[in-house]
Amino acid sequence: MNGSAGGQIDSVMQEARVFPPPPEFAARARIGSMEEYEALYARAKNDPESFWGAYAREELHWFEPFTKVLEWNEPYAKWFVGGKTNISYNCLDRHLESPRRHKAAIVWEGEPGDQRVLTYDQLHREVCRFANVLKHLGIEKGDRVSIYMPMVPELAIAMLACARIGAVHSVIFAGFSAEAIAERNHDAEAKLQITADGGWRRGKVLPLKETVDQALEKSPTVQKCVVLRRVGNDVTMKEGRDYWWHELMEEASTDCPAEPLDSEHPLFILYTSGSTGKPKGIRHTTAGYNLYTKKTFEWVFDYRDEDLFWCTADCGWITGHSYIVYGPLSAGASVMMYEGAPNWPAEDRFWDIIEKYRVNTLYTAPTAIRAFIKWGDEHVEKHDLSSLRLLGTVGEGINPEAWMWYHEKIGGGRCPIVDTWWQTETGGIMMSPLPGATPTKPGSCTKPLPGIIPRIVDAQGNDVPVGHGGWLVIAKPWPGMLRGIWGNEERYVEQYWSKIPHCYLTGDNARVDEDGYYWIMGRIDDVINVSGHRLSTIEVESALVSHPAVAEAAAVGRPDEIKGQAIAVFVVLKDAEPSDALRDELRQHVRQEIGALAQPDDVRFTTALPKTRSGKIMRRLLRDIASGKETVGDTTTLEDYTVLAKLRGDEE
């Protein structure tokens, strides 16, 4: 195939291993066979409105019933039109008349080892009190509230309190710079800032209030700031603007009825920048998002009432919104929440938490899994992980060798793995194995969930043949979908709906195999065009990581006069020493694994890769380095600026 087939990508990776669901897991699962999955999928495909309408009526509380399931004026969707509900009510009040009232909602551990458990009843009381605090500070329905906090229960309380009164929250990950906070506050026209004096990270205090003080100098719309006392460090409190959380809560009543909100009332804005430059505020609304996160949580994680579910993401990301707060709490789940780093005070902190609390489901990122592999198996082997029954991955594609390590070392070979594909924009999981039904293949997110209709197309919108890569698009609306970009409808239409007629463009490349399984092949701009062949970066990276010396790898293209693009790879080693011999060995290894076409031209060793704060590799920066260009665009999401300097050779 040549490069003129625009949008079509050569697939060179082969993966033949298949793992059926363990029979004992399938026997107890919510969806226990492929026949059940296929029947559910067909129902949703053939009549999506009655499928989602029935679930919405049964599983959400409505102050006023909806009159129409879907109003679709491409590219704008309205779900459950005319209905009034409240996601805070669905997460809390609904459980208070049931045995779940005194069940743990949040089980929390701070980095220093402090612990708290909040039952549904206690969480409800705290949320009502803070909702009254918001009202006391003049926050009304539709006002935007900016939240910049560590991973403490008060972060979830603040989110649920905003939702309770109809305020729109914008959670900003508590590692962003003052400049990034100010930019987001300005775009959302935030009226109130919520923060903490500080938070713990690797034994050190992150001075969150200090950062917020700088941001508020450039946030003209923010009138007041609420500060949680978390670490007890000295902070400056500005008279008339800044208030202590605990002082406001002392006065607040625990009685605050949830506001009946229109099904399409905005719930939150979440800014995403990643590797694409200027941040954009993804806008999600109330009822469709609520239903979609609840159902996908129950289906994908096969949730049972006795489970303790741990999603290791931060609430500053969509994963934390959907699978720490809104999905699990709507389903009445017990959620584990941890404040700190996975390697503090040692590299076994996650395994210690799983053993101590008897966690049943672990949902984490491939970038974390590759770090665990690099740190060594001895940290895993000293802990009893037998409570685990299900493992999940999120954030980017997982390479097969990391999948196998996760399966064997963490899951003991007995836990199904749900490799989930979705985005900030999709609101919830779009493709994933169902652990009691779907045979899994390492590296594949397997099949779409009920109601999701994917296609793989070339740049002209034609379906590509089985086994070939192309652009992944979604052909029909779904309840959890984004409703726009805050204050920028042109960008919403241009970015997601203008390239392929009548389809949502995900921005990802993918292929589907002969079994109908989907394989994500990286972002559309993460394609290397070598001598007319369009190769996926993920396949080259997976080949490198399958070498025993390699912990992590990133592949990018750089201009080449003869081939169009040459392949440059950046490699993090486990404990081997960089050498010319190892460089040659890695080139040969890729050649052997996937063919001469994919053999890297440049192999550069590094101690770490530049990543966004959610753990995605910033390949845009690596392309600039490989090409010798200067860095451009938004780098506020970089986890460690020194990484970039080291790779560029600016720092020895």
* Domains in the chain: boundaries: 526-648
Say if residue 25's pLDDT is above 70.
yes
Q: State the pTM of this model.
A: 0.89
Going by pLDDT thresholds of 50, 70 and 90, the confidence category of residue 631 is low
Going by their DSSP bridges, the two strands 469-474 and 454-457 should be labelled as antiparallel
Say if residue 57's pLDDT is above 70.
yes
Going by pLDDT thresholds of 50, 70 and 90, the confidence category of residue 3 is very low
3-class DSSP assignment, residue 266: strand
Which H or E element spans position 186? helix 178-188
Contact between 477 and 509 (Cβ < 8 Å): no
Task: Give residue 13's pLDDT.
Answer: 64
**Alpha-carbon torsion (287, 292, 297, 298), positive or negative:** positive
**Whole-Å CA distances, 422 to 395, 403, 452:** 8, 18, 11
Helix axes 619-627, 641-648, angle to 10 degrees: 20
Helix axes 580-594, 537-545, angle to 10 degrees: 120
Contact between 421 and 431 (Cβ < 8 Å): yes
**Whole-Å CA distances, 37 to 184, 447, 481:** 41, 10, 22
Average pLDDT across the chain, whole number: 93
Lowest mean pLDDT among 75-79, 395-399, 637-641: 637-641
**Alpha-carbon torsion (424, 428, 432, 433), positive or negative:** positive
Task: Give residue 535's pLDDT.
Answer: 83
Say if residue 649's pLDDT is above 60.
no
Pick the CATH number of 526-648 from 3.90.45.10, 3.40.50.300, 3.30.300.30, 3.40.30.10: 3.30.300.30
**Which residues of 149-251 form beta strands (DSSP E)?**
168-171, 192-196, 199-201, 204-206, 224-228, 242-244
Angle at 601 between CA 596 and CA 607, to 5 degrees: 120
In whole angstroms, what separates CA 463 from the centre of its chain? Answer: 28
| Dist CA 579 CA 117 (whole Å) | 51
Going by pLDDT thresholds of 50, 70 and 90, the confidence category of residue 146 is very high
Side-chain-side CA neighbours of 76 within 13 Å: the count stands at 7
| Dist CA 113 CA 356 (whole Å) | 12
Task: Give residue 4's pLDDT.
Answer: 35
3-state SS of 404-448 is: HHHHHHHCCCCCCEEECECCCCCCCCCECCCCCCCCECCCCCECE
The mean pLDDT of 269-288, rounded to a whole number, is 82
| Dist CA 343 CA 350 (whole Å) | 8
Say if residue 5's pLDDT is above 50.
no
Say if residue 275's pLDDT is above 80.
no
Q: How is 440-480 classified by DSSP, letter by letter?
A: B-TT--BSBPTT--EEEE-TTSPBPPTT-EEEEEE-S--TT
Write the pLDDT tens digit of every residue in 175-216.
888 988 999 999 999 999 999 999 999 999 999 999 999 999
Say if residue 277's pLDDT is above 60.
no
**Whole-Å CA distances, 380 to 54, 398, 411, 518:** 44, 20, 11, 31
| Dist CA 265 CA 141 (whole Å) | 9
Peptide bond into 75 cis (omega under 30): yes
Lowest mean pLDDT among 146-155, 345-354, 545-554, 619-628: 619-628
Share of the chain above pLDDT 90, in %: 82
Task: Give residue 652's pLDDT.
Answer: 31
Task: Give residue 274's pLDDT.
Answer: 44
Task: Give residue 12's pLDDT.
Answer: 63
Q: In the block, which residue shows the tokens 């679930």?
A: 55
Say if residue 503's pLDDT is above 90.
yes
Q: Is 203 exposed, middle or buried (0-12, 13-18, 19+ CB in 10 A)?
A: exposed
Going by pLDDT thresholds of 50, 70 and 90, the confidence category of residue 2 is very low
The mean pLDDT of 331-352, rounded to a whole number, is 97
Task: Give residue 152's pLDDT.
Answer: 98
Give the residue with greater pLDDT, 512 vs 536. 512
Helix, strand, coil shares of the chain, percent, nearest 5, are: 35, 25, 40
Q: Report residue 478 as tokens.
A: 């779904």
Task: Give residue 395's pLDDT.
Answer: 86
Peptide bond into 207 cis (omega under 30): no
Task: Give residue 639's pLDDT.
Answer: 54
In whole angstroms, what separates CA 174 from the centre of its chain? Answer: 16
Q: How is 599-649 classified by DSSP, letter by letter?
A: --SEEEE-S---BBTTS-B-HHHHHHHHHTPPP-S--TTBS-HHHHHHHHT
Task: Give residue 651's pLDDT.
Answer: 37
Say if residue 595's pLDDT is above 50.
yes
Question: Cβ of 630: how many Cβ atoms within 10 Å?
Answer: 8
Give the residue with greater pLDDT, 413 vs 628. 413
Task: Give residue 636's pLDDT.
Answer: 64
Say if residue 589's pLDDT is above 60.
yes
Q: Please enumerate in sequence order all residues whose Cβ is within 8 A of that of 510, keeping only pairs 6 or more positions apart, or say none.
A: 454, 456, 469, 470, 471, 472, 518, 519, 520, 521
The mean pLDDT of 99-105, rounded to a whole number, is 98
CA dihedral of 61, 151, 391, 123, whole degrees rounded to 10: -30
The mean pLDDT of 234-255, rounded to a whole number, is 98
Q: Please enumerate in sequence order all residues whose Cβ is within 8 A of that of 247, keeping only pairs 6 or more positions apart, or say none.
A: none
Write the pLDDT tens digit of every residue in 522-574.
888 777 888 777 787 888 998 999 999 999 999 999 998 888 899 999 999 99
Contact between 565 and 534 (Cβ < 8 Å): no
